Amino acid sequence: MKIHKEGKKIVRIAAFVTIALAAVIVWLLPLHHWALQVSLLFLFLLFFWILWFFRTPSRNINKQDDAFLSPADGRVVIAEETRKEDNSWKTVKQVSIFMSPLNVHLNRYPADGKIISYTYYPGKYMVAWHPKSSQLNERNAIVMETPGGKQIVLSQVAGTVARRIVCYSEEGKHVKQGEEMGFIKFGSRVDVILPVDVELLVKPGDKVRAGLDVLARSRQQTTA
């Protein structure tokens, strides 16, 4: 199992702490005491969960020029037409994906394109599936333009547990569909704001995987 670079330091620290605590517990408790067995089991389960959280599965990206792939593993909590809450208030399509602590937390770009802007917003730490978390929680907003001229917005949103958002976006950078966008540590969500003329192919409750499942497709190319 491959560990993502964002987790290697944490895994090393976790391994050291696990071994140290296990040694203390073995020294303090009788060898066959039930508390020793339960404590050691808890420690090693916690360590293996940390390993599991930072895993990076090997994937063959499902590249499609007319499609917007999922940027995250998780469950779709919003898939609808809505109004963009900025000065334009234009109609857009939004897909929001909630990542539980059991999901892969590596995020990927949903399409080829160029990064137009990257903005960080400090905020609260509401539960990530809450509808208002997109506006109130700590988050970032990545605006990118596809080769076809479509602008999309990607937002990595912190949750109650997630307190560390890592983003690799830089203004002016050209990115590829499925390329690593960033990593969110310990539970969160990703919002995708798409043009209103795309066809959504997912609904709330659907489970999706980054770089593999299609969230939406360009209507123009679908009907051509």
- pLDDT of the residue at 125: 53
- d(Cα 85, Cα 121) in Å, to the nearest integer? 15
As a whole number of Å, the CA-based R_g of the chain is 20
- Give the number of other Cβ atoms within 10 Å of residue 157's Cβ: 30
Buried b (16+ CB within 10 A) or exposed e, 17-30: ebeebbeebeeeee
188 noted as active-site residue: yes
For 102-212, strand residue ranges (E) read 106-108, 113-121, 139-145, 151-158, 164-167, 174-175, 180-185, 188-195, 198-200, 207-208
Residue of 145, 162, 181 lying closest to 72 (CA atoms): 181
- pLDDT of the residue at 157: 85
User: Residue 165: beta bridge partners?
Assistant: 184
Q: At what angle do helices 8-28 and 34-53 cross, to 10 degrees?
A: 180
Q: Is pTM, for the whole model, over 0.85?
A: no
- d(Cα 45, Cα 22) in Å, to the nearest integer? 12
- pLDDT of the residue at 184: 83
- pLDDT of the residue at 191: 92
Q: What is the pLDDT along the chain (224 residues), one digit of tens a residue?
A: 688 888 899 899 999 999 999 999 999 888 888 889 999 999 999 999 888 888 888 899 999 999 999 999 999 999 999 876 655 558 899 999 998 888 888 999 999 999 999 988 875 555 544 555 555 567 888 999 999 899 999 998 876 554 578 889 999 999 999 999 998 876 688 999 999 999 999 999 999 999 999 999 987 543 33
- pLDDT of the residue at 7: 84
Catalytic residue among 39, 133, 169, 188: 188
- pLDDT of the residue at 160: 55
Residue of 11, 46, 9 lying closest to 1 (CA atoms): 11
